[in-house]
Amino acid sequence: MEIVSPLPGTEPSRDCLRCPRLVALRGQCQVDHPDWWNAPVYAFGDPDGWLAFAGLAPGKHGANRTGRPFTGDYAGDLLFATLAEFGLSEGIYDARVHDGLRLQGAIIVNSVKCLPPQNKPTPAEIANCRPFFERQLAALPNLRVIIALGRIAHDAALRAAGARLAAYPFAHGAVHALADGRYLVDSYHCSRYNTNTGRLTPPMFADVFRTALILRDQTSERNSSTTAR
């Protein structure tokens, strides 16, 4: 299976050894499921986009299997449906890496690149992956808004911006103006658990997208005003 990153030079190697626990799980998955991706999952989307989705980590039967973020599990069903609803994708999502889907104006990057046991990376594993995550955000020249899918992604985005976590508490729908002029918007993760329990509903998730679009337009107007002077 060949997958090309939209952000070359920012990804860990396929045999990255930084996190022993994740390496062990990867090796077991390679034995149990040799036809899966079973490697660090690359970013997916438009490298010239204005919007970045900061995810947590690959899911076992989703991105770790298919090799594309949020592809093959329920979280991706909701995310890609909402991207299509707001005109941020082109093509039909078919839960496989070569379904022809393209993102327009948006990109997805995970704060942890490898599958963690029980979908719970340790603080050390998050820190080990931070250089790749930060490198990817820095490689997006037109980035204006980051949507953090969950608290871990929220914290990772703040650290990438050099911000104090205590000054920007996580809350669904919260908007944080960062020192670099970008905005961080918080959302509960679009996991099956969160939607099954009603913690996150499709309308709630859509509202986060609407907020991001408003912020994009505000920054466009601000930049145009500055240029006109």
pLDDT at 223: 64
122 or 221: which leads in pLDDT: 122
Please write the tens of the pLDDT for every residue from 126-136. Answer: 999 999 999 99
Please write the tens of the pLDDT for every residue from 163-173. Answer: 999 999 999 99
Of the candidates 52, 44, 31, the residue with the CA atom closest to the CA atom of residue 141: 52
pLDDT bucket at 229, cuts 50 / 70 / 90: very low
Q: Quick check: 124 pLDDT over 80?
A: yes
Give the CA dihedral 225, 223, 151, 62, nearest 10 degrees: 130
Given a contact cutoff of 8 angstroms between Cβ atoms, the answer to whether 143 and 45 are in contact is no
The tokens for 226 are: 């500055």
Distance, in Å, from the CA atom of 25 to the CA atom of 14, rounded to the nearest integer, reads 14
pLDDT bucket at 88, cuts 50 / 70 / 90: very high
The phi and psi torsions of 16 (rounded to 5 degrees) equal -55, 135
pLDDT bucket at 225, cuts 50 / 70 / 90: low
Domains, in order of start, for the chain: 37-228 (3.40.470.10)
Q: Quick check: 138 pLDDT over 60?
A: yes
- The stretches of the chain forming alpha helices (DSSP H) are 20-32, 63-66, 74-85, 123-138, 151-160, 192-196, 202-228
What is the pTM assigned to this prediction?
A: 0.95
The phi and psi torsions of 145 (rounded to 5 degrees) equal -135, 135
Residue type for position 199: R
Mean pLDDT score of the chain: 96
pLDDT at 228: 46
> 87-107: b or e for each residue (b if 16 or more CB lie within 10 Å)?
ebbeeebebebeeebebebbb
Q: Quick check: 227 pLDDT over 70?
A: no
Please write the tens of the pLDDT for every residue from 13-27. Answer: 999 999 999 999 999
Please write the tens of the pLDDT for every residue from 27-60. Answer: 999 999 999 999 999 999 999 999 999 999 999 9
Distance, in Å, from the CA atom of 41 to the CA atom of 13, rounded to the nearest integer, reads 10
Distance, in Å, from the CA atom of 52 to the CA atom of 144, rounded to the nearest integer, reads 8
pLDDT at 1: 76
Q: Quick check: 184 pLDDT over 70?
A: yes
Distance, in Å, from the CA atom of 225 to the CA atom of 34, rounded to the nearest integer, reads 55
Q: Quick check: 180 pLDDT over 90?
A: yes
